[in-house]
Structure 1
Amino acid sequence: MEPTMNLLINTTENTTDENNCTLCLRVLELEARILPIIFSLIFLVGLAGNGGLIAVIWKHQKKDVSTLLILNLAVGDFLLILVSVPFTATIFAFPKWPFGDVVCMLNEFLQTLSLGVSVFSLTALSLERRNSAVNMYKPLVVSGSVTLRVKILIVSIWAISAIFGVPHMVGYHVIQVWRADLSFFMNVCWPYPLDWPAWYGRFHVTARLFIYLIFPMVIILWSYVSIAKLLLRQRAGEERNESQPQTSYMRNLRMSRKKMAAIVLFLVVLFGICSIPRHIYLLWYHYHRGTYTPFWHIFKSVGFVLSFMNSCLNPLTLYGLSKPFRRQCNAHFSTCCRTIRKSIQ
């Protein structure tokens, strides 16, 4: 996380004129009223959506590779929303960080952990969709227990994500800064120790850009270009062999795999839309070092909210785009409602 009170902290690197300060005070007052409400909605929708997604997949759906990776994605989002969102909302509701070093570190570590789980799961899903397109005419292999390959893949995703979160466990801490408008020192959850070299901030945001956006998107783009080429070849082959019609099972299999590929692609696009503004702001803040205007403060806040909002949009996306999941979800919640009514009676 970047520092959150740049407009009001009296520093030599970020200065604003009197008009900007007056405007930014109004922006911060408005944020203190609106953003906690938005984060409360993210908290409620995210817990209900991801919790329902986890329950439906665990109880009702077949455990193939794609389903398990989506389950893994939902677990990461659920953990982020459960632990990090309540603490993060306080940044905008209170003028200072009201918790200590441990919560500061844990909050940022969990954000990075969840980000890694999300982006690496989406990357693995895209590669799995490519593999499914290569084996388009082979039936899905679903076993009663999770295969060793999927276990290793999921454990690796969490382990790598945790390793990339270690700098936050080491670096994040609470410091006191001077708040110029109120003339007192306040606690702030700060990303880097003050005795670390000045270039580390630039290195960190650049590394995050490549690790969590550029490299995964290149792999995902390659996967979907490969899928498109394979589908074009298969369609050309079918046109040459029209005398050999496909069975209904094979047609349904192809259609279901195409739909799953489209859903994964939509999740990837949604992730990109929600994460790119945050990267843009961090690059501007660490490389440009210009006047921190109200525009950049609003841009930062919007990107910050979008990065959390993505975690509660994934279940809604699956509910809207996947008819089988929607049917199973409706049936699951209908059963839960009947059980609750019986217990009350």
Structure 2
Amino acid sequence: MLSILFPSRGSRRRSCRGVLLLGRASWDMEKLDMNTSQEQGLCQFSEKYKQVYLSITYSIIFILGLPLNGTVLWLSWCQTKRWSCATIYLVNLMVADLLYVLTLPFLIITYSLDDRWPFGDLLCKLVRFLFYTNLYGSILLLTCISVHRFLGVCHPLRSLPYRTRRHAWLGTGATWALVVLQLLPTLAFSHTDYINGQMICYDTTNPENFDRFFAYSIALTLSGFVFPSLVILVCYSLMVRSLTKPEENLMRTGSTARAKSIRTILLVCGLFALCFVPFHITRSFYLIIRFLLSQDCELLMAASVAYKIWRPLVSVSSCLNPVLYFLLGDNNRVRLLQKLRQNKVGKHPAGRKQEMPRDARIWVLLR
């Protein structure tokens, strides 16, 4: 059973120790001054479900995410065609996903060991940092893709000087720089500690710094999620209005670009609705309940369970982002089928000279 202590607001101001204890089976384990437990109420509930649920969920994400993102990066690296702006954004998205997926074995092992963290303080900080790097890097890169598509649909001619590969690389560079600057404080907040003789890795931070962590988390949610979401919402609203216009718009954008824009809207909105929105709602609710030190045990339990259920589900984006590559990139599905077909056909029979296709001979001569 887990014991959760609810000290009064006044006692928290007098002592930083009486915050919230999520017991031995929780990432948010906090130090507890046992003397205060006689004066405060305790909420007790079990979190044994995490050991099975999180281990299985992270294992599935790792098994699917590693080959999917690895395949996308391999296809992008092997292609001879110059990357388009969309491909540049999507490849950077795959890099962020792959870096995070490679940290999942540490979490799987830790939950298998009943929340014991055997990997040291440095890897604790790195795993937490890469989780949020993937999360907010993905959101900002999807924002870049949405703005790029918006300019192509609503301002196709005026935006030509800005929809270039150079600006795409500048956008991805600015995205990585902004994400790293936003997340540097997580390297200070996240660290290891010993609880009952067992090393754990804080998901949030130690109780002495929780007030500062709460303020930082709210600011990060606003800058890393709310503001980019508003930008995407405005872009897609204007795109929908433009795409629903009659034949004038169809002649200006073309049927192919129109279909690709509709796919972009549906896929990105679906990704936000499934992964990012529920996670930020449940996480913000959970942190607010902890900060306000609610005496309602059922409310705290509901907030804790909701947050811990949606926390791994936000990582499902690492498996869904490769779908964006195949559906939004330039002829990526055709290239993949061609590569698979070449591998299936294999070598030509010995002694028989392969004839170059007519179109290929013409292309070589024109080159």
Q: Where on the TM-score scale, by shorter chain, does this alignment land: which range?
A: 0.7 to 0.9
Listed one character per residue, the Cα deviations across residues 167-197 of structure 1 (whole Å, up to 9, x for unaligned) are 11122111122xxxxxx3322212335543x
1:317 positional shift: 5.1
- Of residues 152, 167, 180, the one that matches 1:149 is 167
Counterpart of 2:311 in structure 1 is: 304
Q: Secondary structure at the match of 2:26?
A: coil
Query: Are 2:197 and 1:185 aligned?
Result: yes
Q: How many residues align?
A: 308
Q: Does 1:87 align with 2:128?
A: no
Q: 2:186 aligns with which of 168, 191, 206?
A: 168
What 5-or-longer segments of structure 1 have no aligned partner? 178-183, 240-245, 341-345
Partners in 2 of 1:318 and 1:37 — Cα distance?
Answer: 26
CA pair 45-151 structure 1, distance change in 2 beyond 3 A: same
Q: What secondary structure sits across from 2:201 in the alignment?
A: strand
Whether the aligned pair in 2 keeps the contact of 1:32 and 1:92 (CA below 8 Å) is yes
Aligned equivalents of 2:95, 2:108: Cα separation in 1: 21
3-state SS of paired residue (2:197) = strand
Alignment CA distance shift 1:297-1:116 (3 Å): closer
Change in Cα spacing, 1:117 to 1:336, as seen in structure 2 (3 Å) is farther
**Partner in structure 2 of residue 76 of structure 1:** 96
Q: 1:46 to 1:223 in 2, by over 3 A?
A: same
Structure 1 runs (4+) greater than 6 angstroms displaced: 6-10, 137-141, 320-323, 337-340
The CA deviation string for residues 243-293 of structure 1, in whole angstroms up to 9 with x for no partner, is xxx6xxx7xx62222233233321343134212232223222222234376
**Percent sequence identity over matched residues?**
20
Contact 1:72–1:154 (Cα < 8 Å) also in 2: yes
Q: Which amino acid aligns with 1:325?
A: N
Q: Which residue of 2 aligns with 1:50?
A: 69
Distance 2:84 2:41 in 1: 52
| CA deviation after TM superposition for structure 1 residue 166, in Å | 0.4
Cα 1:89–1:276 change in 2 (3 A) is farther
Q: Shift of the alpha carbon at 1:217?
A: 0.9
1:278 aligns with 2:282: no
**SS of aligned partner of 1:192:** coil
CA distance in 2: counterparts of 1:6 and 1:147, whole angstroms: 42
1:162: Cα distance to partner?
1.1
How far residue 211 of structure 1 moved from its aligned partner, in angstroms, is 2.0
Unaligned runs of 5+ in 2: 1-20, 348-367
Q: Which amino acid aligns with 1:308?
A: S
Aligned with 1:41 (options 46, 51, 60): 60
Deviations 1:48-103 (A, max 9, x none): 11111222234346522112111111111111112x21122234222222221100
C-alpha distance in 1 between matches for 2:85 and 2:212: 38
The verdict on how the C-alpha distance between 1:238 and 1:46 changes in structure 2, with shifts beyond 3 A counting, is closer
Please tell me the root mean square deviation across aligned C-alpha atoms, in Å: 3.4
Q: 2: CA distance between counterparts of 1:325 and 1:14?
A: 59
Quote the offset at 1:135 in angstroms.
4.2
Q: How high is the TM-score relative to the length of structure 1?
A: 0.76
Once the 2 structures are TM-superposed, how far is the Cα of residue 203 of structure 1 from its aligned partner?
A: 1.0
Other-structure match for 1:263: 263
After superposition, the Cα gap between the structure-2 partners of 1:194 and 1:74, relative to the gap in structure 1 and judged at 3 Å, is: same
Asked whether the equivalents of residues 286 and 304 of structure 2 are also in contact (C-alpha less than 8 Å), the reply is no
Return the TM-score normalized by structure 2.
0.72
Residue 77 of structure 2 corresponds to residue 31 of structure 1: no
1:74 is paired with a residue of what secondary structure? Answer: helix
For the structure 1 residues 8 and 106, does the alpha-carbon distance in structure 2 shift closer, same or farther, using more than 3 Å as the test? closer
Q: What are the within-5 Å matches in structure 2 for residues 1-345 of structure 1?
A: 5=26, 11=32, 15-17=42-44, 20=45, 24=46, 27-28=47-48, 30-60=49-79, 62-82=82-102, 84-95=103-114, 96-136=116-156, 147-177=165-195, 184-190=196-202, 191-196=204-209, 198-233=210-245, 235=246, 237=248, 254-265=254-265, 266-289=267-290, 290=294, 291=297, 295-316=302-323, 318-319=325-326, 324-335=331-342
Cα distance in structure 1, aligned partners of 2:288 and 2:328? 40
Q: 1:216 to 1:304 in 2, by over 3 A?
A: same
Output the amino acid matched with 1:31.
K
Query: Is the alpha carbon distance of 1:175 and 1:154 closer, same or farther for their aligned partners in structure 2, counting shifts above 3 Å?
Result: same
